Each structure stands twice: as C-alpha cells, then as structure tokens.
Amino acid sequence: LPIPTVRLNDGQEIPQLGFGVFQVDPGETERIVTDALEVGYRHIDTAAIYGNEAEVGRAIAESGIARDELYVTTKLWNTDQGDAHAAFEASLERLGLDRVDLYLIHWPQPMFGEALGAWRGLVEILGSGRASSIGVSNFEIEHLQQLLDETGVVPAVNQIELHPLHQRRELVEFCREHGIAVEAWGPLGQGKSDLLDRPELSDVAAAHGKTPAQAVLRWHLQQGRIVFPKTTHRARMLENADVFGFELDDAQMAAIDGLEEGRRLGPDPRTFDVR
Ligand code: NAD
C-alpha cells in the first residue's frame, strides 16, 4: 500500500493512515492486527487502557516486518500521570518493544493538575530515545496553551475526536498555527452515529464510485490529518485503505464540511476524569 507520510514538527514522519484498536477485544487483537498488517497497514494506534498492547506486540513480532517499517503509538492512561516513566516502561514491556514511535498523554484531566508533570516525563522519555515523538490527546486550546507556556515543548500531535459532525475548527486552527499535527479519532463517527448514512455523503461517495466511509477518510486526508479507522473485518480494512486513488473537489469537500453539528460522540475533555 502506498501510504503517504506527514512530517511532524520534530522531523519524524508518520504514515497518514493507520489502524486503531480501541475496543478491539484482547482475545481477537492478535488476529485482527495480523490481518491489518497483511492488508498493508504499517501504523497501529493503541493505548495502555485498551488492554491489548501485548496482543498488538505479538502480532508485530509474528509479522516479521522490520521494526523501522512500522509505526506504533501508545498512550499514558489517566491514573498514571503521576509516574509517566513507570507507565511507559510497562507499555514497552507489554508491547515487547524497546521503543515506540509516538507516546501520548491520553486525556488532559485539568481537574487533577498532573498533566504538566506528566508532559515533563514524556520530554525525558523523548530524550532517552525510547519514544521517537511525543504528543497529547484530547487537549483543548487552553490545555495546549498551558503546556506551551509552562514547558515550551510543543507536542508533535494532538489526537482529538474529529469527524464531519464535530469538526473542531478553532482547535484545528490553533494546532496549525503551532505546528501540531492533528490526528482525528472517531474519524468515521465511531459507527454509532448516523454519519455514514447521510445523503450528502453518499452523493459525494457515489460520484467517485466509493463508499461513504472512503469519502469521509478522503475528506480527512485532503486536510492533512492523520487517521486510523478501526474495523475488525478484513474487507473493511481493505476498503478503508483504498482512499488514495481519487480526489474530492472543492464542492465535494464543502458538502462534507456542511455536515458540522458540533456533535461530540465521546466525553468532554474539560470534565472527563475517569480514573
Ligand atoms: P471510527 O470512527 O474509526 O469508527 C469505527 C467503527 O466504524 C467500526 O467499529 C465500525 O462500526 C465502523 N466502520 C469502520 N469501517 C467502516 C466501513 N468501511 N464502512 C462502514 N462502517 C465502518 O472510531 P474509533 O475506533 O473510535 O476511532 C479510531 C481509532 O481512534 C480508535 O481505534 C483508537 O485507536 C483511536 N481513538 C482514540 C481516542 C482517544 O481518546 N485518544 C478515543 C477513541 C478512539
């Protein structure tokens, strides 16, 4: 699969399309990630809280694919913000890797005031070479601003809920101004919204002989975003990766832009405090 890369603000390159394993059952993860790697995905997005790092690691080890051809992201869970080093070591151990490509703070949890300390830990981990890039997830403008003000270290990415029903234009613009790459989670509306049934989307998709999911992924990619749609089905893995041979025109991009509803499907990062 010829998957383009995006250059991050630290000079590293990340494959623009990856494969996410949120809510992928640990008992199925090795098989599913093996399928994804066979299909041609080389970028896997997991997290300590997903409970499937070990199975992701096994699929990677069994694949025989060279480590430097793979891109692996994991995330620091909320309860571990007080000791990022220990949590990171545990993630590496479970993954069976001596390095990840990207390590993220999963949620800002502003009510606990620990994210800044955690970020300083990630900066040290970056310095040790065991994470090639570091970033954050679910950070709003005020959380990013505080990191920048207090530490001066700009995250390489911010991984946020972003899809046509919830486009986060101000936050995306803030990230652009600061050179922070945007990773869109829930890029397809998580399968629990009616996004993929919208006629506006079907029209755009039909014009290219593509599916609504492919049209949405194309809409993300043309805006320079990084996406890692999740599916457990091999046919959909192929479908979701077949998004580089066509181009939406301005009117088609605008039609999808028009689906904005300010509709969050996940938790609000300002109040999410699940420990
Ligand atoms: P998604 O938007 O990728 O939706 C996945 C769902 O869409 C599937 O379960 C399936 O129901 C449906 N789907 C997938 N491919 C399809 C297709 N071709 N046609 C029709 N339906 C299809 O949602 P997600 O899994 O929540 O997000 C992707 C990844 O983002 C996750 O796996 C995870 O890696 C990451 N994520 C991160 C956070 C965070 O807090 N940082 C939160 C949620 C997800």
Q: Ligand 1: does its nearest atom lie under 6 Å from the Cβ of 138?
A: yes
Within-domain flag for 72:
yes
Within-domain flag for 183:
yes
Within-domain flag for 230:
yes
Q: Ligand 1: does its nearest atom lie under 6 Å from the Cβ of 81?
A: no
Task: Determine whether 71 is an active site residue.
Answer: no
Q: Ligand 1: does its nearest atom lie under 6 Å from the Cβ of 195?
A: no
Within-domain flag for 231:
yes
Grade residue 274 by pLDDT with cuts at 50, 70 and 90: confident
Nearest CA to ligand 1 atom 25: 230
Instruction: List the CATH number of the domain containing 175.
Output: 3.20.20.100
166 marked ligand binding residue: no
Burial of 68 (0-12, 13-18, 19+ CB in 10 A): exposed
Q: Is the ipTM of this complex over 0.90?
A: yes
pLDDT tens column, 204-263: 999 999 999 999 999 999 999 999 999 999 999 999 999 999 999 999 999 999 999 999
Q: Ligand 1: does its nearest atom lie under 6 Å from the Cβ of 196?
A: yes
Q: Which of 231, 236, 239 to mutate to test the pocket of ligand 1 (most atoms within 8 A of CB)?
A: 231
In this predicted structure, what is the pLDDT of residue 275?
78
What phi and psi, each to the nearest 5 degrees, are found at residue 10?
-100, 5
Within-domain flag for 204:
no
Within-domain flag for 267:
no
d(CA 263, CA 275): 25
Within-domain flag for 255:
no
Within-domain flag for 51:
yes
> Average of pLDDT values for 14-22?
98
Beta strands in the chain (DSSP E): 5-7, 13-15, 19-20, 43-45, 71-76, 100-105, 131-137, 157-161, 181-185, 226-227
d(CA 204, CA 207): 5
pTM exceeds 0.95 for this model? yes
Number of domains in the chain: 1
Nearest CA to ligand 1 atom 34: 20
- Domain with 53, as residue range(s), is 5-192+225-244
Give the active site residue among 41, 50, 71, 103. Answer: 50
Q: How far is the CA of 186 from the centre of ligand 1 (A)?
A: 5
Q: How far is the CA of 149 from the centre of ligand 1 (A)?
A: 33
Residue 74's DSSP bridge partners are: 103
In this predicted structure, what is the pLDDT of residue 2?
84
Q: Which of 17, 22, 43, 227 to mutate to test the pocket of ligand 1 (most atoms within 8 A of CB)?
A: 22
Nearest CA to ligand 1 atom 21: 191
Region of residue 77 (phi > 0: left; psi between -120 and 50: alpha; otherwise: beta):
beta
